[in-house]
Chain A
Amino acid sequence: MSRANKLFGDKAFELLKDLERSSQTIPAFDDDGVRQVLEEIKAIFEENVAQASSYNSSGDRSLWPLLNYRHAALQRNKRCLLAYLYERSKRIKTLRWEFGPIIPGDIKQALCEPEVQFFNNYSKSLAAFMCNAGCSQGQGIDLTNNLHPPKSLYIEVRCMEDYGKFELDDGELIHLKKNSQHYLPRAQVESLVRQGILQHIA
């Protein structure tokens, strides 16, 4: 009788390994993997329930180590799954701070539906927080701006790609064409520099 290797927890650990070693920022959500782990959890749990009920009726303690092992395997699978989801949600949060309120299309394909909703809710919460935090000045503070202490009000920037029209706070329209240089107020163009559309020179 060939015995399959029933050391549980391998598939769940694989999920984490792939996530950790992937070269992309957020690899595609492993739907299949997660489903397999959930099925494994259900199977182990059902075996345990059957055995526990037989123990209740017979009082035979000899199978207790097996019960204990299955319980440890259940906890392990649960921990791996939760850590997988938590790590992905951490990366989604950094996405908001790095890319701004809109996710690029190809990254969005790698996320599953609840994760996209998570991103939107996080964006909303962040916006509400920024609004309330700047209450004393009348409008909210943009926390994603000024990550380093600013040294000057205006900065010299060069445009790296064709962006089109950009409107400043005082209504002035700037036409951003590739390789054009401008002298613009720092607070409003910082987000464009972080996106890679503009480049800060000297």
Chain B
Amino acid sequence: MNYFPNYYSIEDIFVTQEKVECKVNTKLQRMGFLDAGAEGDDLEPGRTVNLPLWYIKELKVNNAYFTVSVPDIYKNVHKAVCEAETTHIELGRLHPYFYEFGRYLTPYDRNHVIGRIIFETMRQRVRHLLDISKNDGHMAKSELRLDNIEAKLHEAGVRTNTQYINWLQLTGNKIVISELVEEHQKKRKRELSDDESSLPSSKRATL
């Protein structure tokens, strides 16, 4: 798994689309459209607005316009980390991009805990991840509720495990049909059979 957030990486764009709660510090002219409930054209100080991360990360950390507040989920996880109970939390349900989001929010945290929280959670969960990825039976993804990075690691682990077992059992020598081709053929067959059952004149479905 070669995840490295770059300009083109889609996960990074998804993460920066998340909204963060901020408090407005100074009066901002004609920015009233950012606040859904405001009446006037200007953004009044003291109001809380939900701003997307891609805007916040362009501004300086200690800028005079907004104060970024850290979401509650990190405070809850902080409690769990201190009690060393992180393996049981369903990170995927809390936030699908827990680690990446935390990484972006670290500079805004006044208490300087987020960085440590993310690191400690990952450290405690990695062992558990290793164990479940060695599990042969397919656990449905939705049961596990892993965060994005953990899901990728899990997938890589499962893939390596199957390759290893195939090598041990000498079954991996056949040339296999490529995955894309297989999906394509299945889709074509499905469309053909749908067509024949629905229309009396069998016309080939076009995408």
Contacts and interface: CB of A to CB of B under 8 A. Distances in A.
B3 to A, nearest CB: 15
A68 B66 CA distance: 14
B10 A20 contact: yes
A13 B10 CA distance: 10
Given A66-B31, A195-B177, A7 B52 contact: yes
Given A63-B29, A95-B180, A24 B207 contact: yes
A59 B178 CA distance: 63
Residue of A80, A98, A99, A107 contacting most chain B CB atoms (<10 Å): A98
B30 interface: yes
Interface in A41-98: 62-63, 65-66, 68-69, 72-73, 75-76, 79-80, 82-83, 86-87, 94-95, 98
Contact of A151 (B173, B179, B206): B173
B170 to A, nearest CB: 10
A106 interface: yes
B55 interface: yes
A193 B176 CA distance: 7
B152 interface: no
A194 B177 contact: yes
Using C-beta atoms within 8 Å of the partner chain, give the interface range for chain B: 35 or more
A89 to B, nearest CB: 10
A25 B187 CA distance: 11
A107 to B, nearest CB: 7
Given A9-B54, A72-B54, A193 B177 contact: yes
Nearest to B17: A13
Residue of A65, A76, A200 contacting most chain B CB atoms (<10 Å): A65
Nearest to B12: A83
Contact of B177 (A63, A110, A196): A196
A190 B184 contact: no
Nearest to B181: A196
Nearest to A155: B175
A192 to B, nearest CB: 10
Contacts of B59: 68
B54 A76 contact: yes
Interface in B73-125: none
A38 interface: no
Nearest to B59: A68
Contacts of B179: 98
A200 B30 contact: no
Interface residues of A, number: 49
Interface of A: 3, 5-7, 9, 13, 16, 19-20, 24-25, 28, 62-63, 65-66, 68-69, 72-73, 75-76, 79-80, 82-83, 86-87, 94-95, 98-99, 104, 106-107, 109-110, 148, 151, 155, 186, 190, 193-196, 199-200, 202
A106 B188 contact: yes
By Cβ-Cβ distance, the 10 closest A-B pairs, closest first, are A98-B180, A98-B178, A6-B33, A196-B177, A193-B175, A86-B8, A106-B207, A200-B174, A72-B58, A200-B175
Given A66-B29, A193-B177, A196-B177, A28 B54 contact: no
Given A9-B54, A72-B54, A86-B8, A66 B180 contact: no
A155 B175 CA distance: 10
Nearest to A190: B175
A83 B34 CA distance: 26
Nearest to B16: A76
A83 B10 contact: yes
B55 A69 contact: yes
Contacts of B52: 7, 9
Given A66-B28, A98-B179, 18 more contacts: A9-B17, A9-B52, A19-B10, A62-B29, A65-B29, A65-B31, A72-B58, A73-B55, A80-B13, A98-B178, A99-B178, A106-B207, A148-B173, A151-B173, A155-B175, A194-B175, A194-B181, A195-B177
